[in-house]
Structure 1
Amino acid sequence: MAEQKFIEIRGAREHNLKSVDVDIPRDRLVVITGLSGSGKSSLAFDTIYAEGQRRYVESLSAYARQFLDMMQKPDVDHISGLSPAISIEQKTTSRNPRSTVGTVTEIYDYLRLLFARAGTPYSPATGLPIEAQQVSQMVDITMALPEGTRAYLLAPIVRDRKGEYRKEFQELRKQGFQRVKVNGTFHELDEPPVLDKKFRQNIDVVVDRLVVRDGLQTRLADSLRTALDLADGIAILETAPVPDDEGNAEPPQRITFSENFACPVSGFTIPEIEPRLFSFNAPFGACPDCDGLGVELFFDPRLIVPDESLPVLKGAIAPWSKGQSPYYRQTIEALARHYGFNKSVRWRDLPEQARDVLLYGSKGEKVLFRYDEGGRVYEIERPFEGVIPNMERRYRETDSNWVREEFERYQNNRPCHTCDGYRLKPEALAVKIAGLHVGEVVRMSIREARDWSETVPEHLTAQKNEIARAILKEIRERLGFLVNVGLDYLTLARNAGTLSGGESQRIRLASQIGSGLTGVLYVLDEPSIGLHQRDNGRLLTTLKNLRDQGNTVIVVEHDEEAIREADHVIDIGPGAGVHGGTIIAHGTPEEIAANPASITGQYMTGAREIAVPDLRREGNGKSVVVRNATGNNLRGVTAAFPLGTFTCVTGVSGGGKSTLTIETLFKTASMRLNGARQTPAPCEAIEGLEHLDKVIDIDQSPIGRTPRSNPATYTGAFGPIRDWFAGLPEAKARGYKPGRFSFNVKGGRCEACQGDGVIKIEMHFLPDVYVTCETCGGKRYNRETLEILFKGKSIADVLDMTVEDAEGFFAAVPSIRDKMSTLMRVGLGYIKVGQQATTLSGGEAQRVKLSKELARRSTGRTLYILDEPTTGLHFEDTRKLLEVLHELVEQGNTVVVIEHNLDVIKTADHIIDIGPEGGDGGGEIVITGTPEDVADCSASHTGHYLKEILAARRVAAE
């Protein structure tokens, strides 16, 4: 049978697709584009990927299928030409704190192997390489113990491995051994323990029982030789517990001997150098104090004193501010008398000593306290414990979960004091290659780590070079793939949960290229998100490499460069939601541009464009100034955000945009203005916040995490809709209140499905099936509630209307109509009023939030911050979004946007360009000013691309 050259799709009706027929060429780079909500993801992910993955999983056994998530069969008549499908979406890789860039990409696994096989252990005491111990040295160390010390000589034959070990116990008994120590407990080999093969075991053979005294040397040497031979060069001397006068036994002392590695000066030993020694996810290698997390909790002074402008008597110390207790007030007064400070001045103006005493105590110095408890006055002289030591003690001693939760509000993470944040035991950090231990290597940027891996062979012996060659090849290749997708600024130690959706997607993309698969169907969702224009070329080259390996690459994308570089483009539209779902044009990029029906084509030819404003706003003359910001890679940055303007923060990926804007400006401002509890990145000061009322971060997180949330509930339109139905004559006659029309509470909802409209049926090794509730027919309400009609429509019919229809339907009800109008203005006329929040895309959720802000009565003193708001937006959607953002500025508000999209940047009043590079090569302000100023700056990567756009506009104008 000849190989199919196309993926043939006939009658695709998933979501809003209108019986789509399309042939997609195989082994090509295909871009699917169109307006937000037009049906791109419905075709790419919910039809093509879902069917490709479903067919592959169905070919597996029922046993294997139960471990895999199976997709539902899409609503399509016929698909042929599919390959096994892999989807690479924009979702954060893992929220697990143990998951890092190194572990996700598997580079850390290769580094562990490299250090285990080619690393050299060094003594922390002398800094010299650790030599192997001789048996005579082991005898000398043992004989140096106090005379009469009782001890066991153990041979560790099993370390942290699963198994039952029945054969091993029998073999040991045959060899004449009588006892073993299993998981910390001694057992006779005549009656060995029965072990569960599912659990990890530790088994030591008792080779000898000793009492340290003269004349023991020969016997000890023989026993050590036996133990070393039994356990591959390792022996453990464990002293027997000796009870003290009170009957308490001191814990046994364990001395590890190794024929392999031990420091003769300090006695520092490494039991064995295996890859698991460098794993922070296994007890064998993890730092014992932080369990391999690299961080510890501490009471953060910045959370305990969140607002330094308050006096200490007016609630500066947050844990003491509740209820303004007389006890705390009298404590502060006594401390003020003793140390001579003014208790009424602002916290930041208090002397350093006074702040230190209040937070950390009087360090043993006695203070005279005078307390008045409603008439009973008493004095007591004692040291002052301090707010933080007091909270630490109470947190340690309490059994109350409520008290713990209350205290945890004031805690934060900092690097573990034992491992310095490296996550590993001292033994692992003692092993080095080219002067660095594995913790230092993973803290390098990916580009630096790649450069380091190139120099490693120079520092290894010929034998170790032979061993390391294959390992280094894998490490270099994987690091190279990450550099090629624009992630060279990340470190391998970076927590996977802190990566953006775009970064996570590109990491998975790099892993797929490394896998070298062919004949696979890859479906990607906007891989260019978070990438500066400079890095776009490298990403597109990576996608072409994936195609050239013999794969079909389907990309949902809005980036113009990606569309122009594609082999085949499919434009879906013409509008969004019910107005979309049809193929407007498909073919080469040139054919799309030549098609007058394609909005995408019109933007590609310049027939439509996002206009550059004729005038840039000067602002209201006031600014919010961030001084000396030093979070992450920022190098003492001072930046002014002019108020009353539309400001863009630009720069290459990893330059420090989010650290300055979100971690520093937003978090500090929200603590001061909104009373939020969070830890901002450090800076000297933020000036000008008194000119603002509030700060709002409009991100792309879901508006609700359950199907019960919807645009009507989020924007506040559901309340007036319920009130309107409750006010109808029939509802009044029946005594219905607004709560009757809620599907979240008993009364008016259908109890069979509890207001969900669907019932979940678990299918075990098949995907869970959601079936429409038979009682209410999916309408969520009971029959009596649905009998209340307005213009012939029930409340269920209203929730099923599009926003566009609802605006006309409630034209005479301003409280509902106005909320629908604002949703229309942000381009969401196509979504359903009651559409489940979980089905909205990130861009749609962000625009619902924007509409809620537009509907508020503006004070003109709000700071809006948006991080890449054009994610998921077509050129036309971006134009509508910019109209809304500029409208917020016209009302006197300030909008700050982190953005790579040049169509947004060119319309800004003010730009703050951060860089010049990512990671350690960034963290500085390259230039600030108008887009024209930035375009004239030769040091700015953003300016280089902006210059082309502004020059093209000038040519068009002439």
Structure 2
Amino acid sequence: MINSKALIELKNVYTNNLKGFSVKIPLKALTVIVGQSGSGKSSLAFDTLAKIGLQRLKHLLNYSSPVLAEEGIKAEASGALPPVIALAQGVRDWYPYKLVGELLGLYPFLNNRFMREGEYFCSACKGYTRYTPFTEVISFFEALPEGTKFYFLLPLRMTSKEGLRYLYEQGFTRFLVEDMEWDVSEMGFPPEGKEIHLLLDRMVKKSEALGRLFENIRLSREINGGLFILRFLDGEERIFNLQANCAFCGSPLITFFKKCKACGGIGYKEGKECPICSGLKLTPQVLESKLFGRKIREILTLPLEESLEIFQKSLLERVQRFKVEYLSLSTPVFKLSLGERKVLELLLLFSLDLTDLLIVLDEPTLGLDLERRLILLSYLQELVEMGNTLVVVEHDPIFIRSADYIIELGFKGKEGGYLLYQGETSEFVSKATTLTAKLLRGEEKIEIPYTEEGERKILNIDGEELSLFLQNINLFIPDLSNQNEKIFIRLIETLREEGFKIMFVDEVSLKVKDEILISYLKLWDSLREVLLLLPESRAKGLTKRHFSFHTKDGVCPNCQGKGYVFQEFEGRREKTICEECLGKRLNREVLNLVYKGYKLQDILDFTIEEFKEAFTRLPKVQEISLFAEKAGIAYLRVSQSLKELSGGERVRVNLVRMLVEGGKGDFLVLFYPFQGLHLKDVEGYYDFLHYLATNKKLTIIIYDSSPVAQIFCQKVINSSSQRGFTKEEILNLYNLYFKN
């Protein structure tokens, strides 16, 4: 039962397309936000809730000076709002040469331990030496039992008679020669070739002996660079080295993770693995040094299940749980699959063991198969038990059913942003009348169109037989270990070698252009040609440059073509619509042009569907709009920025753009095309893909490991190499939502 008093309340939420509702979010519970693509889920979770949390934290950290308000937030928050951590949809566009150990924050940890506990390799004599901080010597001495007796010895690198004579002349007469005390004043100089230590002092551990220890340490620095040994009467000894020099030959040592000079610490030189450091980024002298009794090179290249067993067992349990223990600290990020990168981002979050946080996640299941989705779900529930508040945007029915609280938004685009339901999951499933609730009860079913098998192409890739159904929808299921990706790459290479043209659509990165749809989808090209021919345009001498969203002649001078401006007052920084162009980005002279009774200012407020109806005599507009209609995105406004779109909308927009650019080929490859889509949106999108396969004669290959993809796509290319849940088991878990 949810505590009705422990709540976060957001009032008058108008961020982006949200319609001014008020919503409550329970603390220390798992809340899932659901709704169709474009309904405003990310606007609520990230652009409102998470940003308000971050803004409050900034105020706390900078209480003595004013903090500018977060741009775009239009809501009021009340109640206890914990510190926030937010992971957006997709995966971070990590620097490509970053390694797994860096991504998990383990390189700084290892460097710190290396500086304190490392055994440093000497490239001159090939020996190993430890470096000891002065404070460690004092701590060791103070921990000794009172009355402990020991020798303070200095190892000598030069044991010639001349060297010993010099020490003798300085007043040092006692030595230890192969463990036997030797007084030079009585016994003469020992023979050369023997192991000799200067017996600097015989000491007894007493509190008043600390000053005597300091003096001995000072002398050791002067005589042999701070290298000394405390040897006890039982024969045990402890070696201390206060300077970063080799104990055997005096050569300088490297006591930190120094970058490889050959590649500048990148690991890859001219696109290839650096031959000097083998992609490990560190100088060879460091790689040959030791930590925890193993060479640094070995620690960095061991599988995580072995390396973490040595120095980070708490993280090892999580790594094994998510089944990525086969990776190494030195695995480059660019070699990871999407699922592996997503898991590492989540591991970075979970490894912190933080409590009493607000954690906001947008579709964290991206790239994960069913097995790892269930593992993730159990982790999220554990985070709640630890006292955290989780708000998750997710479409997977298993996650929705497992939530404590549900918020559903509707509908799409301009009609989106309405609060349809908020409440406990049990009430939602049993009583709510929303689309998602009906799906969960089985009252509404998702239709999966049956496709004939048709012509089949058999390929043998590295000993594995793959079946491709031509002019059909095929599914390639990647595995998290990246092994299947190698087969997939070979599949694409083989098809190209046979002369097939292949088109790709990919949208998983967090990087998004600030471009508006009318330009991005090429609708503007046709309209601009018509506007240029208007008598008013000719009279004003307008050219193509005046109809550009990117030239000085075309853009609004007030906002420089951004559509918005920033205003600052009393410590607040507000992002507001440009009053000159009203967010349309073009100069006023062009926006006032009239065509077919509409000002261009008003035309830019049309949806794609309205745009199609208004310009029936522009063939290219009709073609583009038809694709958008079939892709289920015709509700979008033509002046919307790509940054305003949800992940699911961007996926479909990118596909339409590729088609309207004249993309023609034999194969169309889609990576994770169902990300960010409600089950009802997936149904419509799959219908569009089916249309492309049958009407445009395209062979479609979907690269996706999600359960929904496996349910919709009946033709699996690499079925023989699958692990984990079978398709039948997946269907049994999800069968309530799909028509048989």
TM-score range, shorter chain: 0.7 to 0.9
Q: 2:253 matched to 1:271?
A: yes
Q: CA distance change for structure 1 residues 567 and 807 in 2, over 3 Å: closer, same or farther? A: same
Matched residues in 2 for 1:608 and 1:883: separation? Answer: 18
Checking the alignment, whether the CA contact within 8 Å between 1:543 and 1:553 is kept in structure 2 is yes
1:874, CA displacement in angstroms?
Answer: 0.9
SS of match in other structure, 2:351: helix
Checking the alignment, whether the CA contact within 8 Å between 1:92 and 1:497 is kept in structure 2 is no
For structure 1, the residue ranges without an aligned partner over 5 or more in a row are 144-217, 235-256, 280-284, 298-411, 454-471, 629-635, 669-685, 915-924, 928-938
Checking the alignment, whether the CA contact within 8 Å between 1:82 and 1:521 is kept in structure 2 is yes
Q: 2:263 matched to 1:290?
A: yes
Q: Which of residues 252, 262, 280 in structure 2 aligns to 1:422?
A: 280
Q: 2:721 matched to 1:926?
A: yes
Matched residues in 2 for 1:503 and 1:64: separation? Answer: 42
1:447, CA displacement in angstroms?
Answer: 3.2
Matched residues in 2 for 1:703 and 1:508: separation? Answer: 13
- Normalised by the size of structure 1, how large is the TM-score? 0.61
- Residue 137 of structure 1 corresponds to which residue in structure 2? 157
Checking the alignment, whether the CA contact within 8 Å between 1:710 and 1:836 is kept in structure 2 is yes
Matched residues in 1 for 2:72 and 2:620: separation? Answer: 42
- Residue 654 of structure 1 corresponds to which residue in structure 2? 481
Q: CA distance change for structure 1 residues 106 and 849 in 2, over 3 Å: closer, same or farther? A: closer
1:857, CA displacement in angstroms?
Answer: 6.5
Q: 2:14 matched to 1:20?
A: no
1:714, CA displacement in angstroms?
Answer: 2.0
- Residue 685 of structure 2 corresponds to which residue in structure 1? 881
Matched residues in 2 for 1:59 and 1:24: separation? Answer: 22
Checking the alignment, whether the CA contact within 8 Å between 2:440 and 2:736 is kept in structure 1 is no
Matched residues in 1 for 2:346 and 2:547: separation? Answer: 47
| Residues 517-916 of structure 1 aligned to structure 2 (within 5 Å) | 517-573=354-410, 575-595=411-431, 597-619=433-455, 621-622=456-457, 625=459, 627-628=461-462, 639=466, 641-661=468-488, 663-666=489-492, 668=493, 686=494, 689-692=497-500, 694-700=501-507, 706-707=513-514, 709-732=515-538, 734-760=540-566, 769-855=574-660, 861-890=665-694, 891-913=696-718
1:75, CA displacement in angstroms?
Answer: 1.2
Q: CA distance change for structure 1 residues 78 and 947 in 2, over 3 Å: closer, same or farther? A: closer
Matched residues in 1 for 2:114 and 2:511: separation? Answer: 46
Checking the alignment, whether the CA contact within 8 Å between 2:119 and 2:290 is kept in structure 1 is yes
- Residue 110 of structure 1 corresponds to which residue in structure 2? 109
1:566, CA displacement in angstroms?
Answer: 0.7
Checking the alignment, whether the CA contact within 8 Å between 1:593 and 1:604 is kept in structure 2 is yes
Checking the alignment, whether the CA contact within 8 Å between 2:123 and 2:285 is kept in structure 1 is no
- Residue 89 of structure 1 corresponds to which residue in structure 2? 88
Q: CA distance change for structure 1 residues 781 and 910 in 2, over 3 Å: closer, same or farther? A: closer
- Residue 33 of structure 1 corresponds to which residue in structure 2? 34
Matched residues in 2 for 1:490 and 1:702: separation? Answer: 22
Q: CA distance change for structure 1 residues 430 and 36 in 2, over 3 Å: closer, same or farther? A: same
1:42, CA displacement in angstroms?
Answer: 1.1
Matched residues in 2 for 1:28 and 1:596: separation? Answer: 20
1:115, CA displacement in angstroms?
Answer: 4.9
Q: CA distance change for structure 1 residues 505 and 949 in 2, over 3 Å: closer, same or farther? A: closer
Checking the alignment, whether the CA contact within 8 Å between 1:31 and 1:569 is kept in structure 2 is yes
Matched residues in 1 for 2:506 and 2:536: separation? Answer: 42
Deviates more, 1:50-59 or 1:84-93: 84-93
Matched residues in 1 for 2:585 and 2:119: separation? Answer: 67
1:372-427 CA-to-partner distances (Å, cap 9, x unmatched) read xxxxxxxxxxxxxxxxxxxxxxxxxxxxxxxxxxxxxxxx322x222222222333
Matched residues in 1 for 2:53 and 2:18: separation? Answer: 18
Matched residues in 2 for 1:142 and 1:528: separation? Answer: 73
For structure 2, the residue ranges without an aligned partner over 5 or more in a row are 132-152, 164-195, 201-217, 229-240
1:142-169 CA-to-partner distances (Å, cap 9, x unmatched) read 99xxxxxxxxxxxxxxxxxxxxxxxxxx
Q: CA distance change for structure 1 residues 19 and 230 in 2, over 3 Å: closer, same or farther? A: farther
1:449, CA displacement in angstroms?
Answer: 3.2
Q: CA RMSD in A?
A: 4.1
- Residue 317 of structure 2 corresponds to which residue in structure 1? 480
1:298-353 CA-to-partner distances (Å, cap 9, x unmatched) read xxxxxxxxxxxxxxxxxxxxxxxxxxxxxxxxxxxxxxxxxxxxxxxxxxxxxxxx
1:261-297 CA-to-partner distances (Å, cap 9, x unmatched) read 8596xx696736x5xx2x2xxxxx2223223222222
AA in 1 matched with 2:12: G
1:948, CA displacement in angstroms?
Answer: 2.9
Matched residues in 1 for 2:693 and 2:158: separation? Answer: 77
Q: CA distance change for structure 1 residues 498 and 10 in 2, over 3 Å: closer, same or farther? A: farther
1:599, CA displacement in angstroms?
Answer: 1.4
- Residue 8 of structure 2 corresponds to which residue in structure 1? 7
- Residue 437 of structure 1 corresponds to which residue in structure 2? 295
- Residue 495 of structure 1 corresponds to which residue in structure 2? 332
SS of match in other structure, 1:37: coil
Q: CA distance change for structure 1 residues 726 and 486 in 2, over 3 Å: closer, same or farther? A: farther
1:588, CA displacement in angstroms?
Answer: 3.1
Q: How many residue pairs are counted as aligned between the two chains?
A: 656
Deviates more, 1:124-133 or 1:595-604: 124-133
1:91-140 CA-to-partner distances (Å, cap 9, x unmatched) read 65564466433233233333344555555567889998769997543467
1:56-111 CA-to-partner distances (Å, cap 9, x unmatched) read 21233267878xx9623621245333222221224655644664332332333333
Matched residues in 2 for 1:696 and 1:141: separation? Answer: 80
1:440, CA displacement in angstroms?
Answer: 2.5
1:500, CA displacement in angstroms?
Answer: 6.5
1:3, CA displacement in angstroms?
Answer: 10
Checking the alignment, whether the CA contact within 8 Å between 1:781 and 1:796 is kept in structure 2 is no
Q: CA distance change for structure 1 residues 490 and 570 in 2, over 3 Å: closer, same or farther? A: farther
1:21, CA displacement in angstroms?
Answer: 1.8
AA in 2 matched with 1:589: T
AA in 2 matched with 1:137: R
AA in 2 matched with 1:604: L
1:191-217 CA-to-partner distances (Å, cap 9, x unmatched) read xxxxxxxxxxxxxxxxxxxxxxxxxxx
Q: CA distance change for structure 1 residues 909 and 25 in 2, over 3 Å: closer, same or farther? A: closer
1:842, CA displacement in angstroms?
Answer: 3.2
AA in 2 matched with 1:28: A
Q: CA distance change for structure 1 residues 776 and 130 in 2, over 3 Å: closer, same or farther? A: closer
* Identity fraction in percent: 26
Deviates more, 1:418-427 or 1:106-115: 106-115
Q: Which has the higher contact order (CA 8 A, sep 6+)?
A: 2
1:809-839 CA-to-partner distances (Å, cap 9, x unmatched) read 2234333233223212211123210212232
1:537, CA displacement in angstroms?
Answer: 1.8
SS of match in other structure, 1:698: strand
Matched residues in 2 for 1:480 and 1:901: separation? Answer: 25
Matched residues in 2 for 1:123 and 1:141: separation? Answer: 27
| Residues 356-505 of structure 1 aligned to structure 2 (within 5 Å) | 412-414=271-273, 416-432=274-290, 436-450=294-308, 452-453=309-310, 472=311, 475-485=312-322, 487-496=324-333
Matched residues in 2 for 1:687 and 1:594: separation? Answer: 50
- Normalised by the size of structure 2, how large is the TM-score? 0.77
AA in 1 matched with 2:498: E
Matched residues in 2 for 1:721 and 1:799: separation? Answer: 11
AA in 2 matched with 1:81: A
Matched residues in 2 for 1:258 and 1:898: separation? Answer: 57
1:952, CA displacement in angstroms?
Answer: 7.6
AA in 2 matched with 1:26: L
Matched residues in 2 for 1:612 and 1:557: separation? Answer: 21
1:729-767 CA-to-partner distances (Å, cap 9, x unmatched) read 54355554454333333445433333333334688x967
SS of match in other structure, 1:865: strand
AA in 2 matched with 1:271: L
1:495-547 CA-to-partner distances (Å, cap 9, x unmatched) read 34666676555444434433333322111111111111011221111111211
